[in-house]
């Protein structure tokens, strides 16, 4: 497989919790059944419950912020509550969104009320460049186990909160974890609006990409988000533009039917690549990856950087972006509130059931909205559907939750040309000391990579070279959950992934 034709984002999907609420009974009252489900956000019947619940939530160390949406005309007014200095005084900020001519939004907001101390307004702390190096994280950590809330920022907070509430399955409230937050099931977890957990490492490399400086540590200073990956990849391989929907829902020229992100044109060289390969290493730390590249411990990834560049400030992810919504953000170019697969699970208000794509696995592509395109769909629209031989766009999704439209969908157990099995032995080369669970992660990385290699080796005989490939490598995510992202075994896991 030629790395010259590869576009390689290595992504750290993030997590946030979506929590529905109801009014608890007062003293001496008999609990009553829940009221019929309403739309997302807080309505008039839920105000009393929200007023009682928000301050209580903010006393928990693992909660950094609580966001709410209240219907106002055809849109919402959004409220963000926080107590960043933990002094018991809640800060409240409200914002709206107003469409701009380019299909994006402005987010005018009110002055904060409550705690007037400096630094307590989270919407004033949105720098996406903060804490972009490991030494910066260590310095502000100052020997503590976790980053203090006072040191972090929340990039694109308004945009990401508002997009999440666009989904009818969004909660009445959205909870944002602190850097120390966890759901109790894992040693480590990923997710929230905090810059260190929102930031994904991003590398672009190969044909169509302008090299940063031709060295293994070359970097781009451009700001990026994960919603920008699919539009950039689409332009790089010559996907045909169309009249699609932009971030604000208005019509405009786009590369995908629904496109929230932009093309990172400042890193493209104007030529067209023949194929794109997107490799996602879920749970990978931007700062650790950067540090290991600079130390020379990841020679293969360093070669990719030399043929393109490492985004100095990474790419900011979706909210909420557990694995299933986050991977589909990369593959569709729109936030999970718009592509339809909101979270790993959420409450379907109409059916009054919990929708659970994370555990369903097969058939989860059905949650992607019909007016949204994946890169696989867009490739088929532009280059034609694969004809079973050497014509049309042959596309591949290997162990990735974004699969709709691909001819080979490993997680969905769908293979138009027959399910491939790698030939020969596949010895598992795992670092000493890994648990059986993490050794299985090493095996999955190796097996998945072999599946992709076979697709390219068979190109020209059984099918064309894959026009779009998305490969998911799960080891870094598995390690982060079981041991924590900065455990002593993290470096060996990154070396194995390289």
Cis peptide leading into residue 48 (ω within 30°):
no
Evaluate if residue 35 carries a pLDDT over 50: no
Give backbone dihedrals phi and psi of 368, rounded to 5 degrees, phi first: -70, 130
pLDDT at 109: 94
Task: Give me the pLDDT at residue 231, please.
Answer: 98
**pLDDT score recorded for residue 31:** 40
Strands 199-200 and 75-82: unpaired
Taking all residues of the chain, what is their mean pLDDT, rounded to a whole number?
A: 88
Q: Could you report the per-residue pLDDT of 277-324, keeping only the tens digit for each?
A: 999 998 899 999 999 999 999 999 999 999 999 999 999 999 987 889
Closest C-alpha among 244, 281, 330 to residue 12:
281
Tens of pLDDT, residues 47-101: 999 999 999 999 988 888 999 999 988 889 999 999 988 899 999 999 999 999 9
Q: Supply the pLDDT for residue 248.
A: 96
Residue 74 structure tokens: 């055809």
Better pLDDT: 241 or 189: 241
CB 385 within 8 A of CB 417: no
**Residue spans of alpha helices (H) in 362-467:** 375-383, 436-457
pLDDT-derived band at 184 (thresholds 50, 70, 90) equals low
pLDDT at 419 over 90: no
Q: Which H or E run contains 459?
A: none
Stretch 383-403: mean pLDDT: 96
Q: How far apart are CA 468 and CA 375, in angstroms?
A: 7
pTM over 0.85: yes
- State the pLDDT confidence band at 4, using cuts at 50, 70 and 90: very low
Distance between CA 39 and CA 37 in Å, rounded? 7
| CA–CA dist 480, 298 (Å, integer) | 19
pLDDT for 13 beyond 50: no
**pLDDT above 50: residue 486:** yes
Mean pLDDT calculated for residue range 200-205:
97
Burial class (CB in 10 A: 0-12, 13-18, 19+), 245: buried
Cα separation, 396 vs 462, in Å, equals 14
Alpha-carbon distance of 462 to 389, in angstroms, equals 6
List, for residues 460-471, the tens digit of each pLDDT value: 999 999 999 999
């Amino acid at each position: 497989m030629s790395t010259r034709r590869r576009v390689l984002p290595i992504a750290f999907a993030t997590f946030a919790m979506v929590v529905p609420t109801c009014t608890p009974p007062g003293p001496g009252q008999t609990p009553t059944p829940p009221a019929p489900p309403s739309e997302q956000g807080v309505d008039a019947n839920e105000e009393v419950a929200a007023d009682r619940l928000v301050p209580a939530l903010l006393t928990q160390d693992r909660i950094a912020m609580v966001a709410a949406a209240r219907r106002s005309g055809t849109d919402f007014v959004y409220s963000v509550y926080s107590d960043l200095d933990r002094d018991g005084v809640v800060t409240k900020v409200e914002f709206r969104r107003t469409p701009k001519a380019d299909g994006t939004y402005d987010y005018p907001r009110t002055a904060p009320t409550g705690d007037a101390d400096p630094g307590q307004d989270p919407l004033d702390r949105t720098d996406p460049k903060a804490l972009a190096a490991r030494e910066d994280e260590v310095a502000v950590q100052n020997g503590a186990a976790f980053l203090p809330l006072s040191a972090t920022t929340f990039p694109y907070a308004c945009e990401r909160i508002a997009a999440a509430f666009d989904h009818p399955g969004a909660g009445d409230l959205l909870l944002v974890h602190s850097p120390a937050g966890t759901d109790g099931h894992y040693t480590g977890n990923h997710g929230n609006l905090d810059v260190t957990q929102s930031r994904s490492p991003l590398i672009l490399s190969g044909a169509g990409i302008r090299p940063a400086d031709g060295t293994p540590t070359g970097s781009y200073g451009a700001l990026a988000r994960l919603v920008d990956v699919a539009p950039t990849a689409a332009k790089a391989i010559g996907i045909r533009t169309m009249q699609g929907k932009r971030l604000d829902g208005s019509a405009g020229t786009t590369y995908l039917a629904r496109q929230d992100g932009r093309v990172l044109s400042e890193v493209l060289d104007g030529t067209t690549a023949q194929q794109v390969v997107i490799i996602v290493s879920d749970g990978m730390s931007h700062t650790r990856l950067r540090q290991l590249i600079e130390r020379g411990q990841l020679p293969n990834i360093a070669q990719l950087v030399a043929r393109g560049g490492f985004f100095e400030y990474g790419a900011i992810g979706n909210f909420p972006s557990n694995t299933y919504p986050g991977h589909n953000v990369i593959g569709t170019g729109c936030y999970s509130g718009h592509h339809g697969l909101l979270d790993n699970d959420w409450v379907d208000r109409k059916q009054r059931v919990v929708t659970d794509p994370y555990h369903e696995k097969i058939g989860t592509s059905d949650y992607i909205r019909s007016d949204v395109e994946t890169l696989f769909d867009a490739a088929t629209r532009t280059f034609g559907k694969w004809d079973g031989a050497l014509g049309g766009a042959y596309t591949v999704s290997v162990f990735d939750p974004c699969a709709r439209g691909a001819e080979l969908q490993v997680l969905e157990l769908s293979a138009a040309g027959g399910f491939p099995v790698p030939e020969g032995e596949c010895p598992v080369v795992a670092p000493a000391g890994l648990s059986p669970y993490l050794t299985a992660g090493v095996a999955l990385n190796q097996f998945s990579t072999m599946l992709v290699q076979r697709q390219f080796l068979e190109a020209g005989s059984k099918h064309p070279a894959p026009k779009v490939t998305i490969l998911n490598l799960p080891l870094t995510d598995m390690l982060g959950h079981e041991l924590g992202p900065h455990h002593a075994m993290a470096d060996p896991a990154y070396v194995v992934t390289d």
